Amino acid sequence: MDRALLSVLLVGAGLLGGCAPSPGLVADPATDGAGLWLQGEVDGSHALLTVQGRQIGSAFGLSFHVRIDDALIAVVAPTQQPVLGEGALLIERVDGGDVAFGGTRPSRDAGDVEVADGVIATLEVRARAGATSRVELEDAVARDLDGSFVPLAAAGGTLTLEAP
């Protein structure tokens, strides 16, 4: 093959390769203050997303939703850490692309708890198709013992998975 032609082909291949992003999660920048943000470990067509909490402080309950594009991504398993203490009731509810997370202390008598910074929940997903899509953290709130709402900043991300 002509060296010049080979060079062009290699450059072209390189360009094409640059147009197909590598699997991974590009997390949105987290804002200051109490909030949730996303981390992820991606392995080809699988990802383990973790929802991290920061500066939430004492809470009676937490609630947030992770929204994915369920045409492109399927939920494998949602799980939560016991950040609300012993006796808390937790919910991980999958409804299409909406995954509800959170929980509550069992009663006012049980009081509130201090929520430590760190992992709150994990969401294992797999690709239905190779693509890049948004993962949103929505409707993130904490509640005090008196029932008042404390809005939580929430930063999602952009997830790229390979085709299965």
Partner 1 sequence: MKPSTPTSRPLFGAALLVPALCAAPALAAGVDVVTQHLSVDLSGELLRVQIDATVDIDGAGSFPVYGLVAPATELTVNGAPATLRDDEQYGALVQWLEAPDAGDGPWAVHLVLEGAPSCRSQLNPNLDACTFKDDERVLLPGEPGAAWYLLNVSALDPFTGSITLRTATDMSAAAGQGAPLTDEQPGDGTRLRHFAIDTPTETLGAWARRGSAVEVTASDGTRVVVTAPEGADVVPLTRTAEAMARVLPRYQSMFGALPFDEVHILPVSGRFAFGGMGLLGNIMLGDFITWPDFDYLIVQGAAHELGHSWWGGLASAGDYVGGGFLQEAFAEYSAWRALGETGSDDERLAGVRMNAVWYLTQTDPAADLAILDESLYDHQDVYVLVTYHKGSVVLRTLEEKVGRDVFAQALAAMVARGPGGLSVDALVEEVAAAGGGDITRDVEQWLRQPGFPALTVGVDEGGALALAVEGDYALHVPVRATFADGGVVDSALEASMGDNALALGRRPVLVEVDPRWSMVRTVTPRVPGDVSLDGRKDAVDLMEIALRVGGRVPEQRRQDGSYDPLYDTNADGAIDEGDFAAVLE
What is the number of residues in the chain?
Answer: 164
Q: Pick the closest to residue 59 from 39, 94, 35 (CA basis).
A: 35
CB 102 within 8 A of CB 90: yes
Cα dist from 134 to 7, 78, 124, 160, whole Å: 36, 18, 15, 9
Q: Does 91 bind partner 1 (CB under 8 A)?
A: yes
The one among 23, 53, 61, 78 contacting partner 1 by CB under 8 A: 61
Nearer to partner 1, 129 or 153 (CB): 153
Measure the CA–CA gap between 4 and 91, rounded to whole angstroms.
61
Q: Does 54 bind partner 1 (CB under 8 A)?
A: no
DSSP letter at 16 equals: H
End-to-end CA distance of the chain: 35
The one among 94, 119, 131, 150 contacting partner 1 by CB under 8 A: 150
The one among 53, 102, 156, 157 contacting partner 1 by CB under 8 A: 102
Q: Does 93 bind partner 1 (CB under 8 A)?
A: yes
From the list 29-37, 49-57, 126-134, 144-152, the region that binds partner 1 by CB under 8 A is: 144-152
Nearer to partner 1, 75 or 140 (CB): 140
Characterize the bridge pairing of strands 24-27 and 157-161: antiparallel
Q: Shortest gap between Cβ of 66 and partner 1 (angstroms)?
A: 11
Where along the sequence are the contacts to partner 1 (CB under 8 A)? 60-65, 89-91, 93, 95, 98, 100-109, 138-141, 143, 147, 149-151
